[in-house]
Chains A and B, each alone.
Chain A
Amino acid sequence: MLRLIALELRIVLRDRAALSLLAVLVGALALACLSGAALMQTQIEGREEAKTLQSEAVQQWRKRLADAELPPEEAILSPYRLRQVLIAPLPVLADFSAGRAPVDPYTTTVTMRASRNTLFQRSGLDNPELLVRGGIDLGFVVVVLGPLVLIGLLYGLFAADRDSGIAQLISAQAGSPVRLIGARIVPRLALVLLPIAAAVLVLLATGPDIAGRWQAAGIWLLVAALFLLLWAACGAWVNSFAIGAETAAFTLVALWALITLVLPAAFSAIVQAGYPPPSRFEQIAAARATEVASTEAYENDHPEIASGEFEGRLASIRKTWDLAQKVEAATAPIDRRFVDQLAGQQRFAEALSWASPALVAKRALEQAAGTDPTTGHDFRRASEAYLAAFRAYGGGFVERGAIMQPADDGRIPRFSWLPAKSSPWAEIAALIVLAAALMVLAIRRLARPALA
């Protein structure tokens, strides 16, 4: 068997069309590595910037608290001078599968004036013209490009022998062609999988040192291997029918287009029609109407110029705090309805995606990478929860009319969110079952001598 595999490997490596396909794969992998490394660098730099801003804010804050000469009319405004920069942990494999990393916010600044709706409004300056075209990452190579390269290498697995009349000879001499086809699949699959594994190693060796990265990369590579194995099994299954190489190529390309392009696009349309996203405009208008209705004397945003006296300023920030609470309470049902609608859409989309192995693999890769929609969604919810705790803390001083002291610094709520650790075992199981089923079907069909 090993000699047969070695022979097949030599045959593939002598085929110029196969080498061209592999060259495209290697080129795409090189681009994916560069692009992934650049994205990871941007994510690291963004977080470093945020950390710098946070440490500057902490320094200024401590200096302010330690300033014994700060007049009371200024010191009473301290809760409104406090800011906390929240930073989501770096996704372990953002350089492997970008997922939602380029579009989801990963930092935000919390102040007493921030609200749920404005918390993330200043994130994301990336050029939409580039975002709409997407990027190349290893996940894209595995889900979109890899299967097509594999199809190019194995569309004529046995069908080409039928075209040339050798298939009957093989059946007559060796009986079942299963071993031969197995020996043909192994080097072809390896030629696609090994460069991907090499790219994984390159990114691991050059990327940041994050706890759990190697383990996540192992799971990521397992998903990639299973998905490509599924396509190899698909190739064997299509070749088990009594068809020529051209029809096999056509069928496989059509299957690829169906699974990778058509079904996801159709699902997207179904999700849009079935669960249209709630209206952001309506949310904005409702929040504004509530804001105006919540107070008859809308407070301006400058307590420092509203009054120069301690009592006047305290009254001013008390009105501001009272207004903020009223607006928050009044808009909470609108926001909750909005979040519920989005959650329903998410569940529906996830349920539909099980029908496309490409979407299953994509989701599993992103889950392993920590760039899936759930992680981004959880960071937003955690930030909102922190905002509530932060405002309650600062609001307490406003309500009591108390001036913050240096000792209060240690009591400021801390943001310590970590993404939930979940591995895509259900997706992995689905890929295993599908690949095994197709392989068994292919073997059973190929074992019939009449198919030659």
Chain B
Amino acid sequence: MSITAAIIAKDLRELRRDRRVVVMALLVLALALTALVTAYARISAYEADRAATIVADRVTWEGQGERNPHSAAHFSKWAFKPLTAQAVLDPGITAFAGSAVWMEAHNRNPAVARPIDDQTVILPSGDFSLAWVLQVLMPLLVAVIAASSVARERERGTLRLMLASGARSEALVKAKLASVGVVTLALGGAVSVIGAVAAAGAGPFDPVRLGLWMLAYGGFLSVVAAVAVAVSLRARSSGQALMILAGLWLFAVVLTPRAAASVAEAAAPTPTAERFWADVAAAKAAYPSPFADGMEAFGAKVMAQYGVNRLEDLPVSFGGLQLEEDERLGNLVYDRQFSALFAIYEQQRAALRWANLASPLPALQNISMALSGTDMPHQIAFQQQAERRRRAVVTQLNTDLIRNGAGADFDYLAKPGLWAEVEDFAFEPPSLGETLASLWADALILLAWLAGAMVLALRSARRLNEAG
């Protein structure tokens, strides 16, 4: 047996005998399981609820009887956001993002029904999920395991003994990295495999996404293990190593993402809801409405288009045309205002990335949420698709009014068959390619951290000969 293998075997035996580590590991596993079970139950209930609501609302929609299409456009339909099976692994922004959009005529409504509005417990350190266990608790457990990996050998005097017996410092460090890495990856792997099983049970999932998700966590936990071993190599005692690692954990895992969020908000402030909607209302009021100050010009244009001299002679519903023109002008306002808002979100994300100089966690969080389909780009895709569907539904209803409501306008009643022709909203999540294209910067950052942490651990080996 090589000396490296012997050290690994000894370390693993010691860790297995350390009841504190075993208890902590079991606790982490139990929490991971609890997180998975609750997430699985939540997502299953959510999806069942969503499916039942769509069916019930379809019955309501189709059963509304004869009605003016514009009345139906005000009643309109709702878009409900689905949750993917991968959301079992990382709920991401789900708690803070609206999951339903009212696709009403004239108005681009925001996504509502945020779970946070109905959540009574806001945890002091992030939302409880499998990702939280892997991002917050696992690094702490790794710190506890690794803190004493070299420092305790030094305290006991066995470090000198090992070096004196011919073990090279580099081999020793590699052995320590391997033993901490084996435990870390075994625990992280067990948690991830259970997560994969839960995700498979929650619905159809993409194995490539899951594989990449696990790879990202493997990389992150390897960074943590390497840094922890480096600290243990440099610390005077295992107690000191533990305190330094607890401090680093606090800084990198707890403080940095929060500080980054505050800095990102300061760098690109989100407008207040009051200002945003007041601006929308002002912009809508500023265009010449085909129902008010723009009516004359619009009427003239329509009459010219149809070759008639009086509105009463139009072969189509002038009211319907007014509504469609009003939608067109309103949509320009919404496009401008929401593009500006989404640009602010993008600037905030760019500002958040600077936090990766202090911690690899923000990059991992971006990757984890994106691969789980629970990040901001997925949410924006949902809102944009709901908006496209809203416009399609309203145009479909306006078109019926235009074609069939000549002379009757708002007194025209469409037949119930029209409602059956209006399709439900179906969300198309961004493809894996699109998701990965938005993640390359985060993946590079994580790789850079991994390389840096390995170099740090191996360079720390040089100190062994002096301090050993």
| A contact set with B: CB distance below 8 Å | 17, 20-21, 24, 28, 31, 34-35, 38, 42, 45-46, 49-50, 53, 99-100, 103, 105, 107, 121-136, 140, 143-145, 148, 151-152, 155-156, 160, 244-250, 253-254, 257, 260-262, 264-269, 271-273, 276-282, 284-285, 288-289, 291-292, 296-302, 304-306, 342, 345-346, 349-350, 353, 358-359, 362, 373
Contact = CB atoms under 8 A, between A and B. Distances in A.
Contacts of B67: 297-298
A136 B259 contact: yes
B287 interface: no
Nearest to B280: A122
A269 B80 CA distance: 25
Interface string B335-352: 000000100110011001
A293 B235 CA distance: 73
Contacts of B174: none
B14 interface: no
Interface stretch (B69-77, B217-225, B446-454): B69-77
A279 B238 contact: no
B257 interface: yes
Given A129-B348, A246-B238, A50 B243 contact: no
Given A17-B244, A125-B341, A246-B148, A38 B265 contact: yes
Given A103-B116, A246-B148, A155 B243 contact: yes
7 contacts: A50-B274, A53-B278, A134-B125, A245-B239, A249-B239, A279-B49, A300-B410
A126 B270 contact: yes
B188 to A, nearest CB: 17
B63 A292 contact: yes
A261 B80 contact: no
Interface in B252-311: 254-255, 257-262, 264-266, 269-278, 291
Contacts of A124: 114, 273
B116 A281 contact: no
A273 B239 contact: no
B117 to A, nearest CB: 7
What does DSSP make chain A's interface, helix, strand, loop or mixed? helix
Interface in B235-255: 237-240, 242-244, 246-247, 250-251, 254-255
Interface stretch (B52-60, B191-199, B428-436, B460-468): B52-60
Given A257-B137, A261-B136, A135 B261 contact: yes
Nearest to A306: B410
Given A257-B137, A359-B124, 12 more contacts: A125-B271, A125-B276, A127-B264, A133-B365, A145-B255, A156-B239, A268-B121, A269-B35, A271-B120, A273-B38, A299-B71, A300-B68
Interface of B: 20, 24, 27, 31, 34-35, 37-38, 41-42, 45, 49-50, 52-53, 56-57, 59-60, 63-65, 67-68, 70-72, 74-75, 78, 80, 92-93, 95-97, 99-100, 102, 109-110, 112-128, 132, 136-137, 140, 144, 148, 237-240, 242-244, 246-247, 250-251, 254-255, 257-262, 264-266, 269-278, 291, 319, 341, 344-345, 348-349, 352, 362, 365, 375-376, 379, 410
B322 to A, nearest CB: 8
Given A281-B53, A292-B60, A135 B238 contact: no
Given A134-B258, A292-B63, A49 B270 contact: no
Contacts of A145: 250, 254-255
Contacts of B24: 254
Given A46-B274, A249-B243, A254-B24, A130 B124 contact: no
B123 A268 contact: yes
A125 B273 contact: yes
A271 B239 contact: no
A353 to B, nearest CB: 7
Contact of A253 (B242, B254, B257, B348): B242
**Most B Cβ at <10 Å: residue of A134, A342, A358:** A134
A312 to B, nearest CB: 11
A38 B119 contact: no
Given A285-B57, A300-B410, A128 B38 contact: no
Contacts of A31: 255, 259, 262
Contacts of A160: 239
Contacts of B60: 285, 288-289, 292
B261 A130 contact: yes
A49 B277 CA distance: 11
A426 B367 CA distance: 43
